[in-house]
Structure 1
Amino acid sequence: MATTTAGQKRAEAKREYDAYIAACPSRQLLDTVADKWVTLVLTALADTPLRYSELSRRIAGVSQKMLTQTLRTLERDGLVDRAVTATVPVRVDYTLTPLGESLVTVMAGVKTWAEAHMPEVQRARRRYDRR
Protein backbone atom coordinates (compact mmCIF):
# COMPACT_ATOMS: atom_id res chain seq x y z
CA MET A 1 0.00 0.00 0.00
CA ALA A 2 1.43 3.39 -1.04
CA THR A 3 1.80 6.14 1.53
CA THR A 4 0.62 9.63 0.63
CA THR A 5 2.79 12.48 1.83
CA ALA A 6 1.40 15.71 3.23
CA GLY A 7 2.61 17.53 0.12
CA GLN A 8 0.79 15.06 -2.13
CA LYS A 9 -2.39 15.49 -0.09
CA ARG A 10 -2.18 19.29 -0.42
CA ALA A 11 -1.61 18.98 -4.17
CA GLU A 12 -4.59 16.63 -4.47
CA ALA A 13 -6.81 18.98 -2.47
CA LYS A 14 -5.73 21.86 -4.68
CA ARG A 15 -6.71 19.91 -7.80
CA GLU A 16 -10.14 19.23 -6.32
CA TYR A 17 -10.91 22.95 -6.39
CA ASP A 18 -9.69 24.23 -9.72
CA ALA A 19 -11.99 26.98 -10.97
CA TYR A 20 -10.76 26.40 -14.52
CA ILE A 21 -12.59 23.06 -14.47
CA ALA A 22 -16.25 23.51 -15.42
CA ALA A 23 -17.63 21.27 -12.68
CA CYS A 24 -15.59 22.85 -9.89
CA PRO A 25 -17.81 24.03 -7.01
CA SER A 26 -15.55 27.03 -6.48
CA ARG A 27 -17.16 28.55 -9.57
CA GLN A 28 -20.39 29.01 -7.60
CA LEU A 29 -18.46 30.90 -4.96
CA LEU A 30 -16.82 33.04 -7.64
CA ASP A 31 -20.28 33.83 -9.02
CA THR A 32 -21.28 35.00 -5.55
CA VAL A 33 -18.25 37.13 -4.73
CA ALA A 34 -18.20 38.71 -8.21
CA ASP A 35 -21.62 40.28 -7.58
CA LYS A 36 -21.66 44.05 -7.03
CA TRP A 37 -24.16 43.82 -4.17
CA VAL A 38 -21.94 41.30 -2.37
CA THR A 39 -18.99 43.67 -2.66
CA LEU A 40 -21.01 46.58 -1.30
CA VAL A 41 -22.58 44.60 1.56
CA LEU A 42 -19.25 43.14 2.67
CA THR A 43 -17.47 46.49 2.58
CA ALA A 44 -20.37 48.19 4.39
CA LEU A 45 -20.06 45.62 7.17
CA ALA A 46 -16.28 45.93 7.36
CA ASP A 47 -16.20 48.40 10.23
CA THR A 48 -19.32 47.69 12.24
CA PRO A 49 -22.38 45.48 12.48
CA LEU A 50 -25.39 46.98 10.73
CA ARG A 51 -29.12 46.46 10.78
CA TYR A 52 -31.01 45.73 7.59
CA SER A 53 -32.38 49.27 7.35
CA GLU A 54 -28.90 50.73 7.87
CA LEU A 55 -27.52 48.57 5.07
CA SER A 56 -30.41 49.58 2.83
CA ARG A 57 -29.72 53.29 3.42
CA ARG A 58 -25.95 52.87 3.03
CA ILE A 59 -26.17 51.01 -0.30
CA ALA A 60 -28.07 53.33 -2.61
CA GLY A 61 -30.07 51.62 -5.33
CA VAL A 62 -30.31 48.14 -3.83
CA SER A 63 -33.85 46.78 -3.84
CA GLN A 64 -35.31 45.08 -0.80
CA LYS A 65 -35.39 41.81 -2.74
CA MET A 66 -31.72 42.01 -3.78
CA LEU A 67 -30.51 43.02 -0.32
CA THR A 68 -32.44 40.18 1.30
CA GLN A 69 -31.20 37.69 -1.29
CA THR A 70 -27.61 38.89 -0.95
CA LEU A 71 -27.66 38.69 2.85
CA ARG A 72 -29.12 35.17 2.73
CA THR A 73 -26.45 34.03 0.27
CA LEU A 74 -23.68 35.53 2.37
CA GLU A 75 -25.09 33.92 5.50
CA ARG A 76 -25.38 30.54 3.75
CA ASP A 77 -21.77 30.76 2.56
CA GLY A 78 -20.58 31.56 6.08
CA LEU A 79 -19.44 35.11 5.30
CA VAL A 80 -22.07 36.98 7.34
CA ASP A 81 -23.76 36.25 10.67
CA ARG A 82 -27.34 37.27 11.37
CA ALA A 83 -28.04 37.97 15.05
CA VAL A 84 -31.65 38.32 16.20
CA THR A 85 -32.32 40.14 19.47
CA ALA A 86 -35.75 39.55 21.01
CA THR A 87 -36.94 43.10 21.55
CA VAL A 88 -40.02 44.99 20.42
CA PRO A 89 -39.59 45.40 17.54
CA VAL A 90 -37.20 42.52 16.90
CA ARG A 91 -33.64 43.69 16.24
CA VAL A 92 -31.56 41.96 13.56
CA ASP A 93 -27.88 42.79 13.16
CA TYR A 94 -25.54 41.59 10.44
CA THR A 95 -21.81 41.13 11.04
CA LEU A 96 -18.92 39.65 9.15
CA THR A 97 -17.72 36.23 10.21
CA PRO A 98 -13.97 35.56 10.36
CA LEU A 99 -14.31 34.04 6.87
CA GLY A 100 -16.08 37.20 5.69
CA GLU A 101 -13.37 39.35 7.26
CA SER A 102 -10.75 37.40 5.32
CA LEU A 103 -12.57 38.27 2.08
CA VAL A 104 -13.49 41.88 2.81
CA THR A 105 -9.92 43.11 2.36
CA VAL A 106 -9.87 41.78 -1.19
CA MET A 107 -13.34 43.15 -1.94
CA ALA A 108 -12.51 46.57 -0.48
CA GLY A 109 -9.45 46.62 -2.73
CA VAL A 110 -11.61 45.93 -5.79
CA LYS A 111 -14.10 48.62 -4.76
CA THR A 112 -11.30 51.14 -4.18
CA TRP A 113 -9.69 50.23 -7.50
CA ALA A 114 -13.00 50.72 -9.33
CA GLU A 115 -13.55 54.11 -7.71
CA ALA A 116 -10.00 55.27 -8.46
CA HIS A 117 -9.89 54.08 -12.08
CA MET A 118 -13.40 54.95 -13.24
CA PRO A 119 -12.26 58.01 -15.25
CA GLU A 120 -9.79 55.85 -17.20
CA VAL A 121 -12.43 53.19 -17.81
CA GLN A 122 -14.92 55.81 -18.99
CA ARG A 123 -12.36 57.20 -21.45
CA ALA A 124 -11.63 53.71 -22.75
CA ARG A 125 -15.33 53.04 -23.18
CA ARG A 126 -15.81 56.27 -25.15
CA ARG A 127 -12.85 55.40 -27.41
CA TYR A 128 -14.23 51.93 -27.99
CA ASP A 129 -17.76 53.19 -28.67
CA ARG A 130 -16.46 55.71 -31.28
CA ARG A 131 -14.99 52.89 -33.39
Structure 2
Amino acid sequence: MPRKRNVVAHEERACDAALARAFDFLGKRWNGVLLGTLMEGSASFSELRRAVAGISDSMLSERLSQLGAAGLVERVIDGGPPVAVSYTLTPAGAALLPALKELSAWAENNLPA
Protein backbone atom coordinates (compact mmCIF):
# COMPACT_ATOMS: atom_id res chain seq x y z
CA MET A 1 0.00 0.00 0.00
CA PRO A 2 1.54 3.37 -1.01
CA ARG A 3 2.38 5.75 1.77
CA LYS A 4 0.68 9.11 1.87
CA ARG A 5 3.08 12.02 1.69
CA ASN A 6 2.43 15.18 3.57
CA VAL A 7 2.45 17.98 1.05
CA VAL A 8 3.45 21.33 2.40
CA ALA A 9 2.46 24.36 0.41
CA HIS A 10 5.28 26.81 -0.23
CA GLU A 11 5.10 30.24 -1.71
CA GLU A 12 6.35 30.33 -5.25
CA ARG A 13 9.85 31.74 -5.41
CA ALA A 14 10.52 34.66 -7.66
CA CYS A 15 13.66 36.59 -8.39
CA ASP A 16 13.59 40.15 -7.13
CA ALA A 17 12.97 42.23 -10.25
CA ALA A 18 15.19 45.11 -9.14
CA LEU A 19 18.06 42.74 -8.38
CA ALA A 20 17.64 41.09 -11.77
CA ARG A 21 17.81 44.51 -13.48
CA ALA A 22 20.91 45.46 -11.46
CA PHE A 23 22.78 42.28 -12.40
CA ASP A 24 21.63 42.53 -16.01
CA PHE A 25 23.15 46.01 -16.25
CA LEU A 26 26.21 45.56 -14.03
CA GLY A 27 26.82 42.09 -15.43
CA LYS A 28 27.46 43.45 -18.91
CA ARG A 29 31.13 43.02 -19.57
CA TRP A 30 33.13 46.00 -18.35
CA ASN A 31 30.29 48.00 -16.71
CA GLY A 32 31.08 46.96 -13.15
CA VAL A 33 34.83 47.15 -13.76
CA LEU A 34 34.57 50.69 -15.12
CA LEU A 35 32.48 51.80 -12.16
CA GLY A 36 35.00 50.20 -9.82
CA THR A 37 37.85 51.96 -11.61
CA LEU A 38 36.11 55.30 -11.17
CA MET A 39 35.85 54.66 -7.40
CA GLU A 40 39.31 56.18 -7.14
CA GLY A 41 38.15 59.41 -8.76
CA SER A 42 37.63 60.85 -12.21
CA ALA A 43 39.72 59.60 -15.12
CA SER A 44 40.31 60.41 -18.76
CA PHE A 45 39.43 58.04 -21.57
CA SER A 46 43.08 57.01 -21.99
CA GLU A 47 43.48 56.46 -18.23
CA LEU A 48 40.45 54.20 -18.23
CA ARG A 49 41.71 52.31 -21.28
CA ARG A 50 45.05 51.67 -19.53
CA ALA A 51 43.37 50.71 -16.25
CA VAL A 52 40.98 48.17 -17.81
CA ALA A 53 43.19 45.67 -19.60
CA GLY A 54 41.66 44.13 -22.70
CA ILE A 55 38.96 46.70 -23.44
CA SER A 56 38.94 48.18 -26.94
CA ASP A 57 38.45 51.87 -27.61
CA SER A 58 35.08 51.25 -29.25
CA MET A 59 33.85 49.08 -26.36
CA LEU A 60 35.07 51.62 -23.80
CA SER A 61 33.24 54.38 -25.64
CA GLU A 62 30.07 52.26 -25.85
CA ARG A 63 30.15 51.32 -22.15
CA LEU A 64 30.83 54.90 -21.03
CA SER A 65 27.85 56.02 -23.12
CA GLN A 66 25.65 53.35 -21.50
CA LEU A 67 26.84 54.27 -18.01
CA GLY A 68 26.17 57.92 -18.82
CA ALA A 69 22.70 57.19 -20.17
CA ALA A 70 21.94 55.27 -16.97
CA GLY A 71 22.95 58.32 -14.94
CA LEU A 72 25.92 56.63 -13.26
CA VAL A 73 28.83 58.36 -15.01
CA GLU A 74 29.19 61.94 -16.14
CA ARG A 75 31.39 63.20 -18.97
CA VAL A 76 33.12 66.40 -17.85
CA ILE A 77 34.75 68.76 -20.35
CA ASP A 78 37.47 71.13 -19.14
CA GLY A 79 37.77 73.96 -21.66
CA GLY A 80 41.51 74.13 -21.17
CA PRO A 81 43.66 74.94 -22.93
CA PRO A 82 44.15 72.20 -23.74
CA VAL A 83 40.61 70.85 -23.78
CA ALA A 84 40.38 67.78 -21.54
CA VAL A 85 37.57 65.27 -21.10
CA SER A 86 37.21 63.16 -17.99
CA TYR A 87 34.65 60.76 -16.61
CA THR A 88 33.39 60.81 -13.05
CA LEU A 89 30.76 59.04 -11.01
CA THR A 90 27.46 60.84 -10.49
CA PRO A 91 25.79 60.66 -7.07
CA ALA A 92 23.84 57.62 -8.33
CA GLY A 93 27.10 55.98 -9.44
CA ALA A 94 28.78 56.82 -6.13
CA ALA A 95 25.84 55.21 -4.32
CA LEU A 96 27.00 51.88 -5.78
CA LEU A 97 30.43 52.13 -4.11
CA PRO A 98 29.52 50.31 -0.87
CA ALA A 99 28.03 47.41 -2.84
CA LEU A 100 31.00 47.27 -5.23
CA LYS A 101 33.43 47.27 -2.29
CA GLU A 102 31.51 44.43 -0.65
CA LEU A 103 31.50 42.44 -3.90
CA SER A 104 35.22 42.99 -4.27
CA ALA A 105 35.89 41.81 -0.70
CA TRP A 106 33.66 38.78 -1.24
CA ALA A 107 35.48 37.88 -4.47
CA GLU A 108 38.86 38.27 -2.77
CA ASN A 109 37.82 35.86 -0.03
CA ASN A 110 35.75 33.37 -2.00
CA LEU A 111 36.85 33.20 -5.63
CA PRO A 112 40.13 31.73 -6.79
CA ALA A 113 42.52 34.20 -8.37
TM-score (norm. length: structure 1): 0.64
Q: How does 1:20-99 map to 2 (within 5 A)?
A: 28-99=21-92
Give the whole-Å Cα distance in 1 for the aligned partners of 2:54 and 2:104.
16
Q: Which moved more, 1:58-67 or 1:84-93?
A: 84-93
Give the whole-Å Cα distance in 2 for the aligned partners of 1:56 and 1:100.
19
Selected match of 2:17 from 19, 31, 34:
19
Offset at 1:81?
0.7
Query: Whose helix proportion is higher, 1 or 2?
Result: 1
Number of corresponding residues: 98
Offset at 1:36?
4.0
Give the whole-Å Cα distance in 2 for the aligned partners of 1:112 and 1:66.
27
What is the root-mean-square deviation in Å for CA atoms of aligned residues? 2.3
- Structure with higher Rg: it is 2
TM-score (norm. length: structure 2): 0.73
Offset at 1:29?
4.8
1:30-61 deviation digits (Å, cap 9, x = unpaired) = 42122241111111111211111111111111
Letter in 2 for 1:107: L
Give the whole-Å Cα distance in 2 for the aligned partners of 1:62 and 1:113.
24
Instruction: Give the gaps of 5 or more residues in structure 2.
Output: 1-15
Offset at 1:114?
2.0
Instruction: Give the gaps of 5 or more residues in structure 1.
Output: 1-17, 21-25, 123-131
Identity within the alignment, %: 36
1:54-79 deviation digits (Å, cap 9, x = unpaired) = 11111111111221111111100100
